[in-house]
Amino acid sequence: MSRSWWLRTALLFFLILASCYILMPTVVEMMLYPEVTDEMADDLNDEEAVRNPPLPDWYNAIPKSLKPNTLSLGLDLQGGLMMRYRVDIDTAIDDKLASNAANMRSALAENGKVVDYKVDRPQNQIYLTFADAADTSVLTEEFMRDYPILTVAKTDGAQVTLALRENYFNEQEESAVQQAVEIVRERIDGLGVAQPTVRIENGRNIAVELPGLSRKGVERAEKLISTTAVLSFKLVADKNEALTTFRQLAQGLTKENQIYISGNSLRADDVMKGKRIETSGKDILKAYVQLHENEIPSGREVVFEKVDLRERKMEVAEDVDPATLPTSWRMRLVHTNIMEGSNQTLGGENVETAYPASNPDTGMPYVALKLDRTGGDLFYEVTKKHVGDQLAILMDDQLVSDPVIRSEIPGGNVSIEMGRGNRQETMNEVNNLVVSLRSGSLPAPIRQEFKTLVGPSLGMDSIVKGMEALAWGFALVFFGMILYYKQSGLIASFALLINILFIMAGMASMGASLTMPGIAGIVLTVGMSVDANVIVFERIREELRSNETPRKAIIIGYEKALWTILDSNITTAIAAVVLMNFGSGPVKGFAVTLLLGIISTVYAAFFVTKTIFELKVRLNSEKLSI
């Protein structure tokens, strides 16, 4: 018994010291030196940001690897960003229909069959018009196996109607929304936001809550979340072929199109309404291309490129800052496939690893990719056969880089240079692309329906009221226990303080956020902890009435109370685990706090108070104030 008592005492002191150490950053950064938000700081680069007020030197001297996490506050307490997105299944299916139609036309052209196509997006159908009605027989069951989402719905002379296979739309809707939630959650984790909330609302809607983001963080989060991130490698089409194609497309231009000829391509600028983009220049070009799909050569496709600021500067007056102009976009013509006469593709699915790197000569950051074996072999073959040609590196339908292939590149190592702005802007683009590639591509575009910045004033009011409730609850329990159980009540109150310390330390070590429901969970834990002590004390009282010695009454009292307390706490813990797995947001925050409180309560009731009682009877074994 002596060894057991000393071990429990040593463990208790160790846990108290460890909890204090874990909570040290929270006390220093949030209580002793709370950061004053400076609106100007959001406009500075990360290297220039200075904390106000600065943290003490002794605290900064602690290595980051040894410094525990700070207990963060949830959106309801510290403010942050609330957004709702809608998964655009219709656009994803429209794009898939157009892609299948273009690939089918190319495959038929290789077999000597001339065909035009039209995509009926509202009806989810494709109309194929053959030059010869007899050629429709080529759409055999074996041919259609390469296009599993399509079925032949109707044949009328030289025209064939293809439709989506039955139940395809419903299957895509359900899987796309769930997959989008997982990818968005993984991307947000790359931002380092503590306890973000991502959940499905009303079928296609995704709600996102990001606590404690600065204005700069909000912009990065929005861009990262909405990027579809389908990476692909293709070859840039010959300049003469591109010029011919764009001249053909330009014949249908009118003033209403808001598209103009510039250089060897077609361009469009963002349509601005004040400082807000009303219509993207890219969307203007994309809509025009969809209306003239049949004028694009077989085996080719149009992608879009943001015009470099330095190139735009040549087209405007010298006293005009290009950065203040609307973004300008242009069309680029690329090969549909990475290899002529082959359906092979090279893209994000072939990326084994992606990480940011820096050019030792220029110091500019770039994205370094390592392709898997299949992708590496294909990339080597492409670069070997196309030395001197331009390689198109695409993110979704946007060209992000078009380097000239100087020589064959073995090993599957690829670098992607991002933009030509300042180093910090380029680094942000690099980090966003790396996170997007690591998390995977979204199965469908997502459109932001609204966003709301929640201010911290409501949060501070909630914190004050929550702390007041906790303080009043503890005070009433403290005085009630002392009045009824005398010195033993004081021991129970001390154990309650230790209990709260362990809960807060546990949350900080897990990187959890303290929310208003979490505070409610702590208040509930106070009552549960006292309930466990009441059960133990009443058992000890029964033994004392039976004329047992204080030492023996303590031992028997804890033994008899053990299963009663475990039974009630285990059932509550099961409910907390269920809420953690199936709940989200505030519900999950409440469940985490409650589960930590249950574990801490059982430990405090059986080990903390028992250790103190044993110390007391060692000092005075004749009397027990209970």
Per-residue model confidence as pLDDT tens digits over 298-334 = 888 999 998 875 555 545 555 555 555 678 899 999 9
CA–CA gap between residue 505 and residue 515 (Å, rounded): 15
This prediction has a pTM of: 0.55
480 within 8 A of 534, measured Cβ to Cβ: no
| Tokens 């980051």, located at residue | 64
pLDDT-above-90 percentage for the chain = 8
pLDDT-above-70 percentage for the chain = 86
Beta-carbon-side half-sphere exposure of residue 375 (alpha carbons within 13 Å): 20
597 within 8 A of 528, measured Cβ to Cβ: yes
DSSP 65: G
- Strand order across the beta sheet in which 265-269 lies: 231-235, 391-395, 398-401, 300-306, 328-335, 265-269, 260-262
Torsion of the alpha carbons at 544, 550, 552 and 554, rounded to the nearest 10: 90
> Of 10-14, 31-35, 127-131, 230-234, which gets the smallest average pLDDT?
31-35
Q: Is the pLDDT score of 104 beyond 80?
A: yes
CA–CA gap between residue 414 and residue 381 (Å, rounded): 14
Q: How far apart are the first and last CA of the chain?
A: 23
For the stretch 561-580, pLDDT in tens is 888 888 888 888 888 888 87
Q: Is 547 helix (H, G, I), strand (E, B) or coil?
A: coil
Average pLDDT of every residue of the chain: 80
Beta-carbon-side half-sphere exposure of residue 414 (alpha carbons within 13 Å): 33
For the stretch 472-522, pLDDT in tens is 877 888 888 888 888 888 888 888 888 888 988 888 887 677 777 777 788
pLDDT at residue number 96: 82
> Of 141-150, 236-245, 343-352, 382-391, which gets the smallest average pLDDT?
343-352
Confidence of residue 285 (pLDDT cuts 50, 70, 90): very high
Q: Is the pLDDT score of 21 beyond 70?
A: yes
Q: Is the pLDDT score of 411 beyond 50?
A: yes
Tell me the helices (H) and strands (E) count for the chain, helix number first.
Answer: 18, 22
pLDDT at residue number 537: 87
Q: Which two tokens stand for residue 173?
A: 């809707």
Most confident of 34-38, 75-79, 514-518, 568-572: 568-572
Which domains are assigned to the chain?
A: 2-31+69-77+455-619 (1.20.1640.10), 90-166 (3.90.1070), 227-453 (3.30.1360.200)
For the stretch 210-246, pLDDT in tens is 877 666 667 777 777 777 667 888 999 999 999 999 9
Residues 573-593 have a mean pLDDT of 77
Most confident of 190-204, 210-224, 359-373, 582-596: 359-373
